[in-house]
Structure 1
């Protein structure tokens, strides 16, 4: 149910206040159509005031929402809430404004509950980990997520046990433990929904140029790891689709990665193989020879009609063949990624996909809710050709079906993240059997470990343990820029590492 209004006003011009208020409007599909569009109401106005703090110093926020109908008659709704003792002042103000508006829309305007309530951030488990460090138990955290963030009980009971499950993995890392990410920004084709900065695989001349630059990037990262005395816990080769490289280029790339970063103490070496049309027996043998421990196979769906629709050049049968080839090669862990909410699909399609995927017995299944980004062709097609996506309700049914199959395999969620514009207001959640947890996935999502990024569109994320902050530097998303300006990106990464670790 969308709500269309002609104009919107807010009594506070601060960027952060405008951002959090608009997050609530987007959550409830409030559309500002302007003076020329068809509208349900002439105007929506939001007024927030900070009242006198309580005696113990807690923030008090009163929020008012006014709706003016097409005859100019106003309806006024008010909510008032008090913050918690254990949250920062600014965070308390922002949370209370969102929570007040959320409850106005839910209780006064009859909007449906959002599964995650006002939890809008990418990593909701970070809040849970903060409360765990504060000594709260599982039951208390579940209750507080519902009260402070209007999170549904279902989602609270999903992420709280997950956060406790992550604790022993997070404890394996310290200030000098890092992971290495290598970005190979190429794919064989571009999927309909894709907004990632990947490039269609170029010819040999451009690939040779890329390999020369990548080698330079790797050498600089290797020198930094040696200089600061880091230990590489995890290596992750992602993209793009790294296996889209021709066999000889793939072997050269993976050998460089292994020789530069693999140590006796490295526990995880992951390669995203992605699509069956990118894999060969030669690449499988290279991965086995270089001790790759995890391979991601990403069918996204096992529906042939959908694969064709989204621009994939393989069949469900190709996925099965690829999976068996990796198993026969002795790859210890195989991940499979699926997308919920793809165009034209229903919950019954997802049921059929899960039957086929779970029959293979993967070690790890990640369920992604489709995130409709501005850079994807799907977004353009929706606007120009009215391509239909499943409703939020249908996407949530898909999630229920998929999670039931995952649990039937004995898998439990172990990492989770969210993005903007996700179908059904859902999430991306990784599930696995005990003992098959992806260490890299946990470390990067909880921002508990420094990640050194190498290659096209890669990010370096440095954890400053003293200031309890994460600082980042980014390689260019554009391939031409990355190749041209590699020295600048190497220097930015070196400078960032020195800023944090040079003082130790």
Structure 2
């Protein structure tokens, strides 16, 4: 569906964004003056009033054909008593416009309805804290947000499972994230700010800056009386570092942050062509508890297609080597919707992954990012992805296999441009859930970010809001301006923690 122009009777960026989100959800393009279009103009007019102290929005939608004829539809929705007023108005606008698009163009319900955002479980947690029962939450998601019963049950189940983990933190617990922004090769779909592994001289420069970054973060954590609960070394692919650099990095992190309060110490090992017996030994030496192994697919042809320099057999060998060396908690990641794959390929991958009995499995839906080679190749029509319908078949097959193997969902997040309007879901055996994954997704704990492209997110002890500071994505800028990023992080932490505040 193509429409030449869009007008909205509001200058507020958020209102225009809401309308465009619904159009994107149903693959309706606004093409501008050039190019063929099915309709000349779409005009959206929102009017607000109050009824019984609640905001009510009526949305009139005018659709103009090329010959100037016009069709008009009108929808009305009200806010809820437990919503902030602006949030209620925005939800009503989106609800109205969603109903128009579905009715006018005979579109099927979207699985997530009008829920749009990275962390849809946040609203569920808010409702549960207010005393709402899980069944009431599920019903409310369906009526207020047009969420399907399946997705409503999924995020409610996830939120309920997270509650005891979130209860184990307070305002002075924190996690530490260390970003190692290097990879051996760049995958076809990747848009992360990672760099191909440089030579020894540049690596030495990075390690010197990282040491300063770690020392400054450790000093701030100690000065402010924070307790580190989780350590996560990610990237990039941290194990892409040569053996001696990897050992040096782990030792720095261990000496700075490891203590009796640590629940998890995770290293993203990623791929077998970055692993060695020496690195496994160093992870054991420095008390790493959790290793993330990310095959993405167990189909050899797919691995070659997406630029992974390893085979499925090497993934199997890597898991066996880790198991033989130590009782590591092993996570494995799979991507649904990779180019050239079918639901049958995903079923084969999942059978091979579950046969390895990892402690948890994350199912990612492919997100097409503008900075990736995959996006450029799609624009040049050099590669095609599975259809949304096929990607949804992949998701159904993968979910059935992991749940049949005894895994249960425990964290969830969504991204823009995801295949099949799906989501990323972490599944774990009961008792094997990752505390860090829960905390980073639900944003209920301060995360101190160190290294290239890392983000520091501080719980608003005084303000009640999350505040962030970001290190540069560009490696040269990070190395050059490290003192600036250290000071930004320090100021952010001090603003919330420098004076004593009562624990929640």
* TM-score with structure 1 setting the length: 0.98
Runs of 4+ in 1 over 4 A off after TM superposition: none
1:320 is aligned to 316
| Structure-1 residue corresponding to 2:119 | 123
- The Cα offsets for residues 61-105 of structure 1, whole Å up to 9 and x where unpaired, read as 001112112222211111101110000000001110001111111
Alignment partners' CA distance in 1, 2:2 and 2:253: 53
Report the CA distance shift for 1:32/1:386 in structure 2 as closer, same or farther (over 3 A). Answer: farther
Query: What is the aligned counterpart of 1:12 among 10, 13, 17?
Result: 10
1:268 partnered with 2:264: yes
Match of 2:353 in 1: 357
Residue of structure 2 aligned with 1:156, choices 138, 141, 152:
152
Contact 2:461 2:497 in 1 (8 A): no
Match of 1:184 in 2: 180
Alpha carbons 2:322, 2:328 under 8 Å: kept: no
* 2:190 counterpart of 1:194: yes
- The answer as to whether partners of 1:295 and 1:331 remain within 8 angstroms in 2 is no
Structure 2 SS opposite 1:437: coil
Question: 1:338, 1:331 → 2: CA distance?
Answer: 22
Query: Counterpart in 1 of 2:474?
Result: 478
Tell me how far 1:417 sits from its aligned partner: 0.6
The aligned counterpart of 1:42 is: 40
Deviations 1:153-174 (A, max 9, x none): 1001101011011011001110
1:227 to 223, 241, 247: 223
Matching residue of 2:103: 107
Secondary structure of the structure 2 residue equivalent to 1:144: helix
- RMSD between superposed Cα atoms in Å: 0.8
Question: Which residue pairs with 1:389 in the alignment?
Answer: 385
Cα distance in 1 for partners of 2:5, 2:176 equals: 48
- Higher mean alpha-carbon deviation, 172-181 vs 378-387, is at 378-387
SS at match of 1:373: coil
Looking at structure 1, the residues matched to 28 and 44 of structure 2 have their Cα atoms a distance apart, in angstroms, of: 13
- 1:408 alignment partner in structure 2: 404
Q: CA deviation at 1:388?
A: 0.4
The size of the alignment, in residue pairs, is 500
- Counterpart CA distance in 1 for 2:103 and 2:37 is 22
Contact 1:10 1:18 survives alignment (8 Å): yes
Match of 1:454 among 426, 447, 450: 450
Partner of 1:146: 142
Distance in 1, Cα, partners of 2:382 & 2:91: 36
Distance 2:45 2:258 in 1: 56
- Mapped partners of 2:356, 2:20: distance in 1: 43
1:433 and 2:409 matched: no
1:459–1:407 CA distance, 2 compared to 1 (3 A): same
Tell me the CA shift for residue 331 of structure 1.
3.3
In the TM superposition, 1:82-97 aligns within 5 A as: 82-97=78-93
Listed one character per residue, the Cα deviations across residues 316-357 of structure 1 (whole Å, up to 9, x for unaligned) are 111000011111112331000010011111111101111111
Q: Is the partner of 2:459 in helix, strand or coil?
A: strand
Post-superposition Cα deviations, 1:143-192, rounded to whole Å, max 9, x if no partner, equal 00011111111001101011011011001110110000000000000011
State which drifts further: 221-230 or 30-39: 30-39
2:51 corresponds to which residue?
A: 54
Aligned counterparts of 2:397 and 2:422: Cα–Cα separation in 1: 14
* Post-superposition offset of 1:385: 3.3
Asked whether the equivalents of residues 5 and 40 of structure 2 are also in contact (C-alpha less than 8 Å), the reply is yes
- TM-score, L = length of structure 2: 0.98
Query: Following the alignment from structure 2 to structure 1, what is the Cα–Cα distance between the partners of residues 252 and 153?
Result: 43
Displacement of 1:503:
3.0
Gaps of 5+ in 1: none
